[in-house]
A and B are shown apart, each in its own frame.
Chain A
């Protein structure tokens, strides 16, 4: 057991190292020069060159990489090449929008997918089950961009209940306003993701239904539903949770589209802008943190899986 945890953590560290190298070197391939962006369209070649020196971009790639890794080990994500503000500070600030948005979307997705998924599994041979299944299929096929537009047309343009865009400048100091700004975006992501998850919940529950321990429970007198709920669900829940870990990456970054559509000052939007500016230090830091979150979640899920259900073993 301990051995497994240690191996898994080692894998996590290896993953972070590989990720950091991939990110760093991949970014350096991009054309376009941040020094040129800082200098602007009026900059002379000499000014551009001087800015490159100031930013330390004229040193060898390996030296720059070593610097970055050194900083990371000290807990320093570096500073923006364009404005000089610390990357960590920017991330924390924008996280105020993206993290609540992700949590709200996740909650809505779960509220939609879990009860309906279980229901459609239990009623799979009845019309209601089929209807839920078919609706989920249809909603899961909707592009998130379009879903957002439709919701805006309904709730903002026509009904005027919710703001079509933006986040209050005072941020969470105006909690009600901030919540209202995140509601439509969260529903947009949550409903579509929920529809996608619903099918997975359904199949996870179906799989649990067929398991021996559920049939045994049924044999000793529990109704099929009760057997499912007390024995099957925890296992189904585990599979759903493990999928969610992967989904976090999709949600965090899928929020980019929604942040753009709803004009929310979040991490996704900042990432898009930074790539556009070729602000390499910021982009590296942001992508590394996002990848890190996903890798850590993945490792945690694997460990939990192993602890809770020793029958789940990876075939290698």
Chain B
């Protein structure tokens, strides 16, 4: 199969956004992301009750007029806690995506554009690192620095970033050997200019799609890691923390875990679909391209 000429992004910028919003996946994803962001923003200025204020005699109120989602084990209003928890979700999602982007692109570039004696070992290193489960990274970080959200997004960022590197590296290699880049070199462009002008814009769609999925994995990871005690410290109001705190009571108060769980599920679903939508919208032809690119754009199963 002949090398498909990479397309420069600029000519199709506006149309992809429209395509995105027109697809059901993309629309759902954008709406969910918007709601979460709005909730987080709103919580900065107003919540129905002070989410930190405990009211022990008023614990375990069922959903009602005063507390639409009821109260938790120390009497905090669950709706308020949920709203504030959205902040953590946003931070974790964006933080992980940033770390994943840095780790992924850096490793992939090292493994694709450098001299042979550098890129071969890096490629092997990437394959080895991929075998390291994210949870182990999180455990060690938490043991070293104490449980925190930083642990979550560094661990997820590294774990997902390495996965991303493994998949992006062959793509960068392909672009690097393409006509555009060779032409650029012939015209006298230095390697750095070549990279920024040709390589980055062409891997950008792949990277952005992957980052959306990275954000989804991060939100899921926060739930699991906070439950195990490596993520959000006990007084951070996060959805994962809510699940962790209420888990012990499911025998007597089963319905309280419904709200944080639903919030997480809907957000992760939205982010996953957003990634799918972005993939279909940026260049549908890429999705049907050669197997290497397709691998980069198939969401590989990653759960924690």
List residues of A whose CB falls within 8 A of some B CB.
Answer: 11, 14-15, 18-19, 22, 26-27, 29-32, 137-138, 140-146, 149-150, 152-153, 157-158, 164, 192-193, 196-197, 199-200, 203, 207, 243, 246-247, 249-250, 252-254, 256-257, 260-261, 271-272, 275-276, 278, 287, 290-291, 294-295, 298, 314-316
Contact of A137 among B173, B174, B269 (CB under 8 A): B269
Tell me if B144 and A257 are in contact (CB < 8 A). Answer: no
Chain A binder among B92-100, B120-128, B179-187: B120-128
A285 to B: closest C-beta gap in Å: 14
| Cα of A246 to Cα of B251 in the assembled complex, Å | 35
Tell me if B220 and A143 are in contact (CB < 8 A). Answer: yes
A191 to B: closest C-beta gap in Å: 12
Asked, given contacts A31-B144, A247-B301, whether A143 binds B250 with beta carbons under 8 Å apart, the answer is no
Asked, given contacts A11-B124, A30-B144, A145-B243, whether A193 binds B136 with beta carbons under 8 Å apart, the answer is no
A–B complex contacts, Cβ < 8 Å, 28 sampled: A14-B124, A22-B132, A30-B143, A137-B272, A138-B269, A142-B261, A143-B224, A145-B224, A145-B240, A145-B244, A146-B265, A149-B243, A149-B261, A153-B254, A164-B251, A196-B302, A203-B298, A207-B294, A246-B131, A250-B304, A253-B304, A257-B224, A260-B227, A275-B139, A275-B143, A290-B136, A315-B170, A315-B292
Tell me if B125 and A18 are in contact (CB < 8 A). Answer: yes
| Cα of A30 to Cα of B216 in the assembled complex, Å | 29
Whether B268 is near chain A, meaning CB under 8 Å from some CB there, is yes
B1 to A: closest C-beta gap in Å: 11
- Set of chain B residues within 8 Å of A243, measured between Cβ atoms: 300-301
Interface string of B213-227 (1 = CB under 8 A from A): 000100010011001
* Interface residues of chain A: helix, strand, loop or mixed (majority): helix
Residue of B nearest to A192 (CB): B303
Asked, given contacts A193-B301, A197-B301, A200-B300, whether A140 binds B272 with beta carbons under 8 Å apart, the answer is yes
Tell me if A141 and B140 are in contact (CB < 8 A). Answer: no
| Cα of A272 to Cα of B140 in the assembled complex, Å | 10
Contact of B131 among A27, A29, A30, A298 (CB under 8 A): A298
Residue of B nearest to A152 (CB): B250
- Set of chain B residues within 8 Å of A249, measured between Cβ atoms: 131-133
Residues of B in contact, count (CB < 8 Å): 52
Asked, given contacts A149-B243, A246-B130, whether A256 binds B135 with beta carbons under 8 Å apart, the answer is yes
Interface string of B242-257 (1 = CB under 8 A from A): 0110010011001001
Tell me if B120 and A316 are in contact (CB < 8 A). Answer: yes
Tell me if B131 and A294 are in contact (CB < 8 A). Answer: yes
Asked, given contacts A145-B227, A146-B265, A196-B303, whether A315 binds B173 with beta carbons under 8 Å apart, the answer is yes
Interface string of B108-130 (1 = CB under 8 A from A): 00000000000010011101101
A287 to B: closest C-beta gap in Å: 6
From 24 to 67 in chain B, residues with beta carbon under 8 angstroms from any chain A beta carbon are none
Residue of B nearest to A113 (CB): B301
- Set of chain A residues within 8 Å of B216, measured between Cβ atoms: 141
| Cα of A150 to Cα of B258 in the assembled complex, Å | 8
List residues of B whose CB falls within 8 A of some A CB.
Answer: 120, 123-125, 127-128, 130-133, 135-136, 139-140, 143-144, 170, 173-174, 216, 220, 223-224, 227-228, 240, 243-244, 247, 250-251, 254, 257, 260-261, 264-266, 268-269, 272-273, 291-292, 294, 298-304
- Set of chain B residues within 8 Å of A199, measured between Cβ atoms: 299, 301
Tell me if B302 and A250 are in contact (CB < 8 A). Answer: yes
| Cα of A200 to Cα of B302 in the assembled complex, Å | 11
Asked, given contacts A18-B125, A29-B144, whether A157 binds B227 with beta carbons under 8 Å apart, the answer is no
| Cα of A203 to Cα of B170 in the assembled complex, Å | 20
Tell me if A291 and B132 are in contact (CB < 8 A). Answer: yes
Tell me if A253 and B127 are in contact (CB < 8 A). Answer: no
- Set of chain B residues within 8 Å of A254, measured between Cβ atoms: 133, 135, 224, 303-304
Tell me if A272 and B124 are in contact (CB < 8 A). Answer: no
A244 to B: closest C-beta gap in Å: 9
Complex A-B, nearest 8 residue pairs according to Cβ-Cβ distance, in ascending order: A146-B261, A141-B269, A141-B268, A143-B223, A253-B133, A196-B301, A294-B131, A153-B254
